[in-house]
């Protein structure tokens, strides 16, 4: 990957969160648009520069699967692949 996030940005790869009913019917993720999205962390920036000159710590690591706000990411297409760029504040939780 040729993307290097700056500041408090995190680069994600979207993870489809399909759901199945007990009878095996797959419910696509488009049914409920208000659910948080899932993504796999591909790269993490160094953190935002604080007023005292130090950098804030970002609480996720490369390889983590995270939940983030649906409307927060910026979508980027590079070399035929789609990536999502989010601020660390938009990440709600680490899955697992």
Interval 27-86: pLDDT, tens: 665 555 556 789 999 999 999 999 999 999 999 999 999 999 888 899 999 999 999 999
Q: Which two tokens stand for residue 35?
A: 């659910």
* Fold adopted by 9-17+29-95: 10 Kd Chaperonin, Protein Cpn10; Chain O (2.30.33)
Alpha-carbon gap, residue 54 to 25, rounded angstroms: 50
**Residue 23 pLDDT:** 72
- Which one is predicted more confidently, 1 or 69? 69
Whether the predicted pLDDT of 20 surpasses 60: no
The mean pLDDT value for 8-13 works out to: 96
pTM of the model: 0.78
Distances, alpha carbon 18 to alpha carbons 32, 41, 49, 68, 70, in Å: 11, 19, 37, 16, 15
User: Which residue has tokens 């049914």?
Assistant: 31
**Residue 32 pLDDT:** 54
**Residue 29 pLDDT:** 55
């Amino acid at each position: 990957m040729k993307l290097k996030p700056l500041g408090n940005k995190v680069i994600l790869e979207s993870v489809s969160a399909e759901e199945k009913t007990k009878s095996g019917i797959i419910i696509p993720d488009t049914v409920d648009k208000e659910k948080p999205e899932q993504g796999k962390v591909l790269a993490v920036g160094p953190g935002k520069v604080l007023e005292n000159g130090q950098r804030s710590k970002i609480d996720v690591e490369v390889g983590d699967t995270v939940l983030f706000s649906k409307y927060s990411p910026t979508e980027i297409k590079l070399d035929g692949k789609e990536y999502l760029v989010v601020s660390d504040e938009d990440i709600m939780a680490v899955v697992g």
